[in-house]
Structure 1
Amino acid sequence: MQNHTAELTRSLDRLGVNQIVLTTRPPGSPAEERLATGARVVRVGAPVRHLRQGYGMYAALRAPSLAAGADLIHAHQGEDLAVLPVAASLAAAYDLPLVVTVHASLRHTLRVSGPRSLALKVVGTAVEAWGKRRAGHVIALTSRMAGRLCRDGLPPDRVHVIPSGVDPALFAAAGPDPVVAGLPRPRVVYVGRVHPGKGVLRLVEAMALIRTAETAAHLAIVGDGPARPRVEQAVRGYGLTDRVHLLGAVPHDRVPDVLAAADVLVLPSFYEELGSVLLEAMQAALPIVATRVGGIPTVVEDGVNGLLVPPDDPASLASAIGRLLTDPWLARRMAASGRARAAEFAWPALAERVFDVYQRTLGRHETGTRALAADAASERV
């Protein structure tokens, strides 16, 4: 979600939209920085690693001073329960219209695994319903989520489908990342948060099966997150320290170089509303293996630009990866198909559609809109 917000902010800046992005402050990041000519990022010091749902409470202390002079508030709803009510309350207090983009929904996407997650889902469902009713317009990343929102009671004329995008300019000058390129081929990459919901442990299990099948492959895990210790333990447990490489987080502008050095991208998530890294892999002309969950099938067409497998199924994951690694013709065909489709997701065109939603929300047609964007996460992949 953080990459979506950053790229959208840059593209809206080119359209003359002045923006302030309010987000979390991971350790070592500056309190403020300029993202584009008319866009600055303000970070608040929420202890996100230990109190994930606490960001909104910290944001509430800072947001009022930033809202002065804004024309609207754009809330990016993710995992943090408090973001939406803070944004809705701020909009009401300052009489500002509210736009909400739904990246994740506690009601629709949270997997219940115990009492805590069940309580979070119940409370989150109520909070989301309250906040979205106060939004002038709601943006869904996929038609699947848009349909769910309409079934929840939102008027269809207030719900818009605008997916995540990719910036072709970032890939124009991409060259193979030297760290990834230094690994033996073939190279499988995962790019994203190392989070339990991302299925990285299942990918490690799949790599163990691939080794057993005597298919040579190296996996680069590019990202960081709370599940990293468990992933490292699994790598050691399966004896894969020579095959699986945890490279840590990289700035987003290095992702094109990482993908340029890869042979296959894998996204083994248990849930993913869209998955912007899939769009980036398509732009980089990489074949894809992903799970058939959430909105992924709206981006990856099984057998056309990638292979889809059931979630939580290491054997199917290993089989699909092995198929692409051992069939170069199939891999090239899927890579070419993905590259052709990536043009549908170029950020400049998508930003125009978001700007149109702003204008409709404001009820007027003029340039120079000033937006306050609330984003629930700013950690780099």
Structure 2
Amino acid sequence: MHILRLCSVYEPPPSALLGRGVRFDPMGGMQIHAAKLSGALDGLGVRQTVVTTRPPDAPALARLGRHGRVVRLGLPVAAARQGYGAAAWLRAPGLADGLDLVHAHLGEDRSVLPAARHVAAHARAPLVVTVHRGAPRPGGSWPAGTLGARLERHVLGGADAVIALTEGMRDELAKDGVPGERLHVVPSGIGAGFLAELGTPELGEPVMPERIPTPRIGYVGRLARRKGVDVLLRAFALLRDRTDAHLVIVGDGPERSALQRLAARLRIDGRTHFLGFVPHEYVPRVLRELNVLALPARHGGLGTVLPEAMHSRVPVVASRTGGVPELVEHRRTGLLVSPDNPEELAAALRELLESRALARAVTVAARRRVNERTWDRLVHRVMEVYEGVVPLPVPERTDERTGERTGGREPAAAADTAADLG
């Protein structure tokens, strides 16, 4: 099977996580999900071509495991990053050669959808879409936001299969018109790095150049407003009597400078450590060195760090948003708080810092809750989705009267919509 994977962001090489690359393509859940899924499929011998954007210092073409490649299109300029979609559209005939299936990953960038449909039509191959957020809603200014939402509904409604990361997301997509028989739920998985027993190493190189005292409250993820890191800073400032506690912020993004200024205004900058990006292979070590992980998102999906932290036996405080309550049962596998509520978040952080019994109880239950969410298991569920839409080959035969050969692969439904893609 040959799969073309289209995604606006994908795990970049280490060279692209420095300098301009940090601002172009901050690491997040969608990059990690797509990369780990691709790696697991490569382990099964599946041939893949990943088409994505090109951050600064990232090569235009790179190997993917033993059976695939990563093709980075467009300009390495943040303002023009969506140009990869136009480039993929123009290169559709070449990209479509020999494809069995097109798999698009939909995040905030909707331009991936028309490009994916166009390539699928050229290849006469089925289209699968994984949605990394909630159901389509109008966003941005008129008319772009409304037209984009209509495009999203149209493409998702016509896709051969749509994968949601949570049950709640599946229900939203069904309400928005995606046929129920085409909807599947496959969550983000835990990679092999989290399955190794790394012990309890001290926080040090290569994660950061100096030791951070304990207890440590941590955040791992993008620094964007919807992630609510400013709420975490305000909550940390409310722990006035816990001057022994330190806050560790791992990640980068557009809000980093504003968050550093806020930490200074709140007079917690001496105990708040902005580590920036660390390669994802170091995240297991970072998580094991935290006493509590806080995920204070205002809204959004489930992400990848939550199940990773639960598997790593780190007690978690998370906002009651998106698919989080599907994993975190309040006071059983973690603590849930209202979004945008620093007082409630501060109280939950204090409780986990001061009650060893509660912290241990939730981590034991959390580990059991996510025990099956490993990519070596989940990859087979994705393969079931693929096998459900890839047309079965029709055996070739020779007509006895004419001598002509007939048969071969049946055309996929995506080919019927070629006219819609113009």
Question: Could you tell me how far apart the structure 1 residues matched to 2:75 and 2:334 are?
Answer: 38
1:81 aligns with 2:89: no
| Equivalent residue number for residue 25 of structure 1 | 54
Pair 1:296–1:221, CA change in 2 (3 A): same
| Equivalent residue number for residue 65 of structure 2 | 36
Question: Could you tell me how far apart the structure 2 residues matched to 1:315 and 1:119 are?
Answer: 39
Question: Could you tell me how far apart the structure 1 residues matched to 2:290 and 2:32 are?
Answer: 20
Counterparts of 1:35-54 in structure 2, within 5 Å, are 35-46=64-75, 49-51=78-80, 53-54=82-83
| Equivalent residue number for residue 166 of structure 2 | 142
| Equivalent residue number for residue 374 of structure 1 | none
The aligned length equals 360
1:364 to 385, 389, 392: 392
Post-superposition offset of 1:30: 2.5
1:300 to 315, 325, 328: 328
| Equivalent residue number for residue 22 of structure 2 | none
- Normalising by structure 1, we get a TM-score of 0.88
Question: Could you tell me how far apart the structure 2 residues matched to 1:149 and 1:130 are?
Answer: 12
1:157 aligns with 2:205: no
| Equivalent residue number for residue 39 of structure 2 | 10
- What do the CA deviations read for 1:161-192 (whole angstroms, capped 9, x no partner)? 11111024444143534246821101111111
| Equivalent residue number for residue 371 of structure 1 | none
Matched letter for residue 16 of structure 1: G
Contact map agreement 1:140 1:162 (CA 8 A) in 2: yes
Pair 1:97–1:298, CA change in 2 (3 A): same
CA RMSD of aligned residues (A): 2.2
| Equivalent residue number for residue 231 of structure 2 | 202
- What do the CA deviations read for 1:39-83 (whole angstroms, capped 9, x no partner)? 222222445633565542344345543331111100000010201
Pair 1:248–1:328, CA change in 2 (3 A): same
2:101 to 60, 72, 81: 72
SS at match of 2:136: coil
Post-superposition offset of 1:154: 1.9
2:120 to 65, 71, 91: 91
Post-superposition offset of 1:344: 2.2
Question: Could you tell me how far apart the structure 2 residues matched to 1:299 and 1:23 are?
Answer: 30
Contact map agreement 1:7 1:167 (CA 8 A) in 2: yes
Pair 1:359–1:273, CA change in 2 (3 A): same
Matched letter for residue 126 of structure 1: R
Larger Rg belongs to:
2
Contact map agreement 2:224 2:255 (CA 8 A) in 1: yes
1:126 aligns with 2:126: no
| Equivalent residue number for residue 283 of structure 2 | 255
| Equivalent residue number for residue 20 of structure 2 | none
Question: Could you tell me how far apart the structure 1 residues matched to 2:363 and 2:192 are?
Answer: 16
The answer to which of 215-224 and 51-60 deviates more is 51-60
Post-superposition offset of 1:215: 5.4
Counterparts of 1:238-253 in structure 2, within 5 Å, are 238-253=266-281
| Equivalent residue number for residue 166 of structure 1 | 190
Question: Could you tell me how far apart the structure 1 residues matched to 2:84 and 2:182 are?
Answer: 27
| Equivalent residue number for residue 349 of structure 2 | 321
Matched letter for residue 198 of structure 1: K
Matched letter for residue 152 of structure 1: D
Question: Could you tell me how far apart the structure 2 residues matched to 1:29 and 1:241 are?
Answer: 33
| Equivalent residue number for residue 377 of structure 1 | none
Post-superposition offset of 1:257: 0.9
| Equivalent residue number for residue 276 of structure 1 | 304
Question: Could you tell me how far apart the structure 2 residues matched to 1:312 and 1:46 are?
Answer: 37
Post-superposition offset of 1:266: 1.0
Question: Could you tell me how far apart the structure 1 residues matched to 2:302 and 2:77 are?
Answer: 23
Question: Could you tell me how far apart the structure 2 residues matched to 1:157 and 1:106 are?
Answer: 17
Tell me the percent identity: 46
- Normalising by structure 2, we get a TM-score of 0.80
Question: Could you tell me how far apart the structure 1 residues matched to 2:242 and 2:313 are?
Answer: 26
Contact map agreement 2:227 2:296 (CA 8 A) in 1: yes
Post-superposition offset of 1:265: 1.0
- What do the CA deviations read for 1:322-376 (whole angstroms, capped 9, x no partner)? 110111111111111111122121111111010011011103399xxxxxxxxxx
The answer to which of 90-99 and 38-47 deviates more is 38-47
Contact map agreement 2:135 2:173 (CA 8 A) in 1: no
Post-superposition offset of 1:219: 1.1
Question: Could you tell me how far apart the structure 2 residues matched to 1:105 and 1:85 are?
Answer: 19
Post-superposition offset of 1:94: 2.5
Question: What runs of 5+ residues in structure 1 fail to find an aligned partner?
Answer: 367-381
SS at match of 1:57: helix
Matched letter for residue 278 of structure 1: L
